[in-house]
Amino acid sequence: MDTEIAALKAENESLKQQLREQGQLPMSLEEFKRYGRQMIVQETGGVEGQIKLKNSRVLVIGAGGLGCPCLPYLAGAGVGQIGIVDNDVVETSNLHRQVLHNSSKVGVLKCESAKDVLVKLNPHIKVDTFPVRLDYSNACRIFQGYDVVLDCTDTPLTRYLVSDVAVNLGLTVVSASGLGFEGQLSILNFKNVGPCYRCFFPVPPPPNSVSSCQEGGVIGPCIGLVGVMMAVETLKIILDSYTLDNFKPFLMQYSGFPAQSLRTFKMRGRQATCLACGENPSITRDSIERGHIDYELFCGKRDYNVCLPHERMTVDEFQKSFLKTAELNHILLDVRPRHHYDISHLPNTFNLTVKELRDMDGDMSQLKREIPTVGAQSEVLVLCRHGNDSQLATRILKDQFHLKNVRDVKGGLFKYIDEINPAIPKY
Amino acid sequence: MVSVKVEFLGGLDVIFGKQRTHKLNVPSNSGEEVTVGTLIDYIVEKMIKNAGDKCVFIENDSVRPGILTLINDTDWELEGEKEYVLEDGDIVSFTSTLHGG
């Protein structure tokens, strides 16, 4: 009995000793084990670097093609607090590139779907979710409390907003984008000294030159690589690998085709004339939060609504009046890009894009070369994917070719598939 | 005459027959030095086949907003923009800004 008590006492003492020793450690033994492989890379600064990561707070805006590959590396590396802003839900068409989500998450909020994976990956970190669309009224409130912001968004409008708010709150931004097989990456407002998005792009691009992933397409691993590179840059910022002395503004350009290449361009510094971070800034936290900076007006919008009501028809009318009739005395013109058309299309259609029509400059002989039966009185029905380009094409056919009976199909092929014929492949 | 390499990145190649890099001999105007400004005029006049495509590259007499111009991998803002005098072997890159995420 006595020996048993003595043994228990000894064990108790040894456990107490272990606890005392652990209490003096900056993190748990499990965390030492977990981060060991990166801590022994000298560039991370070992335990000291790991503590920097543990104490860091990173906000990721967008849990899509860039956010998904980036987030697990931040979580895995032990970034102590990760915020995710995204109000979209997972769609099947996201899954080829947004690899944090999976088929069972279709319809679930992307920020919650991502959080699910991250907290399982690393239980030592905290993940906050913001299922809202970032705008001028909520951005400052959301950004507060974070050290680094990752811009994984997909429109010029949010890119200007993220940069402006970060400048005003003194946060460094890791900004990236991708489309097709290309990607770009930069660090903005580094330690509140480096150039911001407006320094690089004081004037926004014309709206019709901006293409989205939905429109232009995107290769999963190409944008994924850029997302992973964002994680690398974020770790370097947190680990103080970049300093005010050694940081030089840059923009990286990745291309997946034809041969993979990664270029680093040397970029301009902060611009004295910049409206956000220059010498006399007019974009302040107050002016942003009051809605005085009109981002929508600044970035503009494409105007697709160029057809009058009588120049348009519903998919229902399209089906009843034209597709069901036996004889073809009308012309069906599909104006989607050729490689879209090749994926799926309706029978008995011609395929000419808006650009091809525009390039004909209203020359009927060129149009007849493509559509031999076309004439001024022909009944022409135009459709595209969603009913935007078809309106532009209708305008060109009526105004430049002077065709009298042209109408576009509202909502395009995809609405037709949704409402009338779900057997046609939608992509 | 100066011989340079020109690149069209970020999807800009679509208005240049889908060809990303071009080797050019840019003639000088009456013996003057060939600047990046001269090169831009040359591209607009000689290389963009379709008049309707010019607005993709140029706006208000300069490179369209949203296109970055780089001279030997350096932002042209640091190199004198249109005034930069080209030398044989220079690489001038134009890249459209991407926005997808």
Residues of A in contact with B75 (CB under 8 A): 251, 265-268
Residue A150 near residue A174, CB atoms below 8 Å: yes
SS3 B66: coil
Task: Specify the pLDDT at position A19.
Answer: 67
**Of A129, A139, A203, which is closest to residue A168 (Cα–Cα)?**
A139
- Of A297-311, A323-337, A357-371, A413-427, where does mean pLDDT reach its minimum? A323-337
What pLDDT shows up at residue A21? 66
Task: Determine the residue of chain A that is closest to B73 in CA distance.
Answer: A265
- Say whether pLDDT at A393 is over 70: yes
- For residue A337, what are its two tokens? 């890009």
**Measuring CA to CA, which residue among A128, A202, A216, A121 is closest to residue A160?**
A202
* Average pLDDT value for residue range A287-299: 92
Distance from CA of A52 to the nearest CA of B (A): 28
- The closest of A150, A194, A160 to A56, measured between CA atoms, is A150
What is the Cα–Cα distance from A304 to A310, expressed in whole angstroms? Answer: 16
Instruction: Check pLDDT > 70 for residue A312.
Output: yes
Task: Provide the pLDDT for residue B53.
Answer: 87
Domains of chain A: 40-299 (3.40.50.720), 309-419 (3.40.250.10)
Please check whether residue B56 touches A, CB under 8 A: yes
- Contact flag B65-A206 (C-beta cutoff 8 Å): yes
Answer yes or no: are the C-beta atoms of A90 and A41 closer than 8 Å: no
Res. A7 pLDDT band, cuts 50 70 90 = confident
pLDDT digits (tens, 9 = 90+) for A319-361: 888 777 656 678 999 999 998 999 999 999 999 999 889 889 8
Binning pLDDT at 50, 70 and 90, where does residue A10 land? confident
pLDDT of residue A206: 85
d(C-alpha A123, C-alpha A167), whole Å: 32
Question: In this structure, what token pair is assigned to residue A59?
Answer: 């906000």
Record: fold of B2-96: Ubiquitin-like (UB roll) (3.10.20)
Amino acid identity, residue A158?
T
Is A246 annotated among the ligand-binding residues? no
Residue A263 pLDDT > 70, yes or no? yes
Give the pLDDT confidence of B32-85 residue by residue, as tens digits: 899 999 999 999 999 998 888 898 999 988 999 999 999 999 999 999 999 999
Interval A58-89: pLDDT, tens: 999 999 999 999 999 999 999 999 999 999 99
Token output for A116: 């699910």
pLDDT band at A211 (very low <50, low <70, confident <90, very high): confident
Q: What was the pLDDT predicted at A326?
A: 59
Q: Which residue(s) pair with A319 in the sheet?
A: none
pLDDT at B28: 87
Residue A158 C-alpha, separation from nearest chain B C-alpha, in angstroms: 10
What pLDDT score does A208 carry?
A: 76
Encode chain A in three state secondary structure. CHHHHHHHHHHHHHHHHHHHHHHHCCCCHHHHHHHHHHHCCHHHCHHHHHHHHHCCEEEEECCCCCHHHHHHHHHHHCCCEEEEECCCECCHHHCCCCCCCCHHHCCCEHHHHHHHHHHHHCCCCEEEEECCCCCCCCHHHHHCCCCEEEECCCCHHHHHHHHHHHHHHCCEEEEEEEEECEEEEEEECHHHCCCCHHHHCCCCCCHHHCCCHHHHCECHHHHHHHHHHHHHHHHHHHCCCCCCCCCCCEEEEEECCCCCEEEEEECCCCCCCCCCCCCCCCCCHHHHHCCCCCHHHHHCCCCCCCCCHHHEECHHHHHHHHHCCCCCCEEEEECCCHHHHCCCCCCCEEECCHHHHHHCCCCHHHHHHHCCCCCCCCEEEEECCCCCHHHHHHHHHHHCCCCCEEEEECCHHHHHHHHCCCCCCCC
To test the contact with chain B by mutation, choose from A209, A214, A225, A252 the residue with the greatest count of B C-beta atoms within 10 A, namely A209
Q: Please write the tens of the pLDDT for every residue from A95-106.
A: 999 999 999 999
Q: Which amino acid is at A173?
A: V
The domain locations on chain B are 2-96
Strand partners, A218: A180
B52: which chain A residues are within 8 Å (Cβ-Cβ)? 355, 358-359
Residues of B with CB below 8 A from A152's CB? 101
Average pLDDT rounded to a whole number, residues A161-176: 98
Cβ-based contacts under 8 A for chains A and B? 103
| 3-state SS, residue B76 | helix
Q: At what angle do helices A220-238 and A67-77 cross, to 10 degrees?
A: 40
Q: What is the pLDDT of residue A329?
A: 78
Chain B: give the shortest CA distance to residue A259, in Å: 12
Six token digits for residue A282: 């007019």
- On the question of pLDDT at A280 being above 70, the answer is yes
What pLDDT score was predicted for residue A322? 77
Check pLDDT > 90 for residue A16.
no
